[in-house]
């Protein structure tokens, strides 16, 4: 694969910022398609690499690039096709090239070296995988980089959330939920796809047995496919209406307090989705509506469409955000502040990496999320750079008489846009430990120092 130099842009205007509707719609559609292609290709490449890593241990090879795996080779070819297309697009768009051009160039160079000399030296392969790990969330959120203006605003903050029932049986769900409610917290986040509906079923049964449905703000999501059936996923009216009815039955309730679209559906007009959500609100099945994993422009477009039609607007936006993953600060968080949308961070502890239980050059705890099985969502955090960040952050917390998880949660709760934090727990003592973050009131000076420690 060859790379042409970036086109000259002296006489080419940059993306205009004053007329988004008129000038960016075509570009945004193109970006969305390429972002989804990028995310899928890189994610599958990383999954294949994780599987190959397991073979390293079994066969005592020196590098994953020594494995002539048909699956890995297919991922390599797919990534190559994507890089050629996306690189041309990025280089031809000044606003994108300024932000991502150098990193894409380095990745393409590494890819060319890997393809030309297969197997390649361990350090070259490792460098490529490290950069792909960093590029995956960047291109997943590629649509952020299209010139939308960011304007500051304000939103309140609370720690009032728990996720239960995904990996717990009924008895454990009741114990964790009971302790959570006894500590005065009340926001419970679910999704129909979690454990393929079992998570909602356990939660609904636990609340009914405990008689505490009115003590919680009950949130769930729909949109991620529940099966391979064509109408069993997405944000169409048919799927949204059917999903809500099914969730109400599993949750044993007559209404959902906050229904969130789990991810953006490029195949369904946003107006169709919003009309379905508005009808559900009018029927009393849903109190409020929100979104999850939307880019800044997607949220902005949804708010515009809801306002124009008089539909119920999104009141919340949920995305990944923590001390070592802060990409949403560029545009999504400011959009939430500008329009008064509550921001809900997920992965506040980076899938457990910010708990401090994972140590450099030490085996992962067998009973931990990262130790149970190869898992790309967790493994993407495991880099030397992130280990160094965690070590600095842990020292920062220890010097002030707190734990690393308390710092991670307290820092998020101090952010002006954050309304609440999604905190998972499988034992009552984890609920208690998470709740202690409420007692740490960080100063502005502490916030700056924590960001510096995070690097």
Whole-number Å distance between alpha carbons of 5 and 91: 8
Least confident of 1-5, 198-202, 207-211, 408-412: 1-5
The full length of the chain comes to 455
Tokens (6 digits) for 274? 């919003």
CA dihedral sign of residues 387, 392, 395, 400: negative
Say what the pLDDT of residue 369 is: 62
Three-class DSSP category at 64: helix
Q: What CATH number belongs to 21-144?
A: 1.20.120
Give the lowest-confidence range in 59-73, 97-111, 302-316.
Answer: 59-73
Residue-wise pLDDT for 326-367, tens only, equals 999 999 999 999 999 999 999 899 888 898 888 888 777 766
CA of 7: how far to CAs of 93, 97, 417, in Å?
A: 9, 10, 39
Lowest mean pLDDT among 135-149, 289-303, 370-384, 427-441: 135-149
How high does pLDDT run on average in the chain? 75
Write down the pTM of the prediction.
0.65
What is the pLDDT at residue 362? Answer: 77
Scan for tokens 């984890």, then name that residue: 430
Is 36 a residue whose pLDDT tops 80? no
Q: Is 194 a catalytic residue?
A: yes
Q: Which pLDDT does position 427 carry in this prediction?
A: 86
pLDDT at 64: 44
pLDDT of residue 193: 87
Return the pLDDT at 156. 27
Per-residue pLDDT averaged across 158-181, rounded? Answer: 67
Please, what sign has the CA dihedral across residues 298, 415, 134, 71?
Answer: negative
Distances (CA, A) of 82 to 15, 25, 129: 24, 22, 16
Nearest residue to 265 via CA among 288, 287, 247, 243: 243
| Mean pLDDT across 209-217 | 94
Q: Which of 111, 194, 264, 321 is catalytic?
A: 194
User: What confidence tier does 98 reach under pLDDT thresholds 50, 70, 90?
Assistant: low
Residue 55 pLDDT:
52
Return the higher-pLDDT residue of 291 and 48: 291
CA distance 266 to 75: 24
Distances (CA, A) of 267 to 25, 233, 317: 15, 11, 20
Decide: 90 and 30 in contact? Cβ < 8 Å.
no
Q: What pLDDT was estimated at residue 377?
A: 60
> Residue range 237-265: average pLDDT?
96
Better pLDDT: 94 or 241: 241
The pLDDT assigned to 16 comes to 37
Domain boundaries, the chain: 21-144, 161-454
The helix or strand, by DSSP H or E, that contains position 338, with its residue range, turns out to be helix 332-339
pLDDT at 391 over 50: yes
Measured from the Cβ of residue 412, the count of other Cβ atoms closer than 10 Å reads 24
Tell how far CA 443 is from the center of its chain: 27
Q: Give the rounded percent of residues in the chain with a pLDDT score beyond 90.
A: 42
User: Residue 147: pLDDT band by 50, 70, 90 thresholds?
Assistant: very low
Cis amide linkage into residue 303, ω under 30° from 0: no
Domain 161-454 class, CATH top level: alpha beta
Kindly list the distances between the CA atom of residue 232 and the CA atoms of 190, 222, 238, 256, 269, in Å, as whole numbers in the listed order.
Answer: 18, 10, 9, 20, 17
Indicate the range of 65-74, 231-240, 253-262, 402-411 predicted with least confidence: 65-74
Q: What is the pLDDT of residues 393-448, one digit of tens each?
A: 999 999 999 999 999 999 999 998 999 998 888 889 988 998 999 899 999 999 99
Q: How far apart are CA 326 and CA 365, in angstroms?
A: 27
pLDDT at 71 over 70: no
pLDDT score recorded for residue 131: 58
pLDDT score, position 22 = 39
């Amino acid at each position: 694969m060859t790379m042409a130099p970036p086109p000259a842009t002296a006489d080419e205007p940059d993306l205009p910022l004053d007329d988004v509707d008129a000038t960016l719609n075509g570009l945004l559609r193109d970006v969305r398609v390429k972002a989804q292609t990028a995310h899928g290709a890189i994610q599958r490449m990383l999954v294949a690499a994780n599987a190959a890593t397991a073979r390293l241990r079994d066969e005592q090879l020196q590098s994953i690039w020594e494995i002539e795996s048909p699956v890995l080779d297919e991922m390599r070819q797919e990534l190559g096709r994507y890089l050629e297309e996306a690189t041309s697009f990025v280089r031809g768009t000044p606003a994108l090239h300024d932000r991502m051009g150098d990193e894409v160039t380095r990745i393409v160079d590494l890819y060319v070296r890997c393809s030309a000399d297969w197997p390649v030296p361990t350090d070259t392969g490792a460098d490529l995988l490290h950069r792909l790990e960093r590029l995956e969330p960047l291109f997943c959120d590629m649509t952020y980089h299209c010139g939308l203006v960011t304007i500051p605003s304000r939103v309140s903050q609370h720690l009032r959330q728990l996720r239960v029932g995904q990996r717990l049986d009924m008895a454990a769900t009741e114990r964790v939920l009971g302790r959570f409610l006894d500590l005065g917290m009340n926001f419970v986040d679910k999704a129909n796809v979690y454990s393929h509906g079992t998570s909602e079923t356990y939660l609904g049964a636990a609340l009914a047995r405990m008689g505490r449905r009115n003590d919680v703000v009950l949130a769930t999501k729909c949109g991620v496919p529940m099966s391979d059936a064509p109408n069993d996923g997405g944000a169409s009216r048919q799927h949204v209406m059917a999903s809500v009815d099914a969730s109400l039955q599993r949750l044993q309730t007559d209404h959902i307090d906050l229904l969130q679209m789990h991810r953006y559906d490029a195949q369904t007009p946003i107006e169709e989705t919003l009309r379905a959500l508005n009808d559900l609100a009018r029927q009393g099945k849903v109190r409020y509506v929100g979104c999850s994993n939307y880019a800044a422009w997607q949220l902005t477009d949804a708010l515009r469409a809801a306002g124009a039609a008089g539909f119920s607007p999104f009141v919340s936006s949920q995305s990944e955000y923590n001390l070592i993953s802060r990409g949403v600060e560029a545009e999504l968080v400011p959009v939430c502040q500008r329009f008064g949308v509550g921001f809900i961070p997920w992965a506040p502890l980076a899938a457990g990496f910010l708990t401090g239980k994972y140590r450099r050059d030490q085996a992962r705890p067998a009973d931990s999320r990262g130790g149970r099985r190869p898992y790309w969502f967790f493994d993407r955090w495991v880099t030397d750079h992130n280990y160094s960040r965690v070590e600095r952050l842990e020292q920062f917390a220890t010097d002030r008489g707190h734990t690393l998880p308390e710092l991670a949660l307290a820092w998020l709760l101090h952010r002006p846009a954050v309304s609440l934090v999604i905190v998972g727990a499988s034992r009552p003592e984890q609920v208690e430990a998470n709740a202690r973050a409420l007692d740490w009131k960080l100063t502005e000076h502490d916030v700056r120092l924590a960001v510096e420690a995070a690097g």
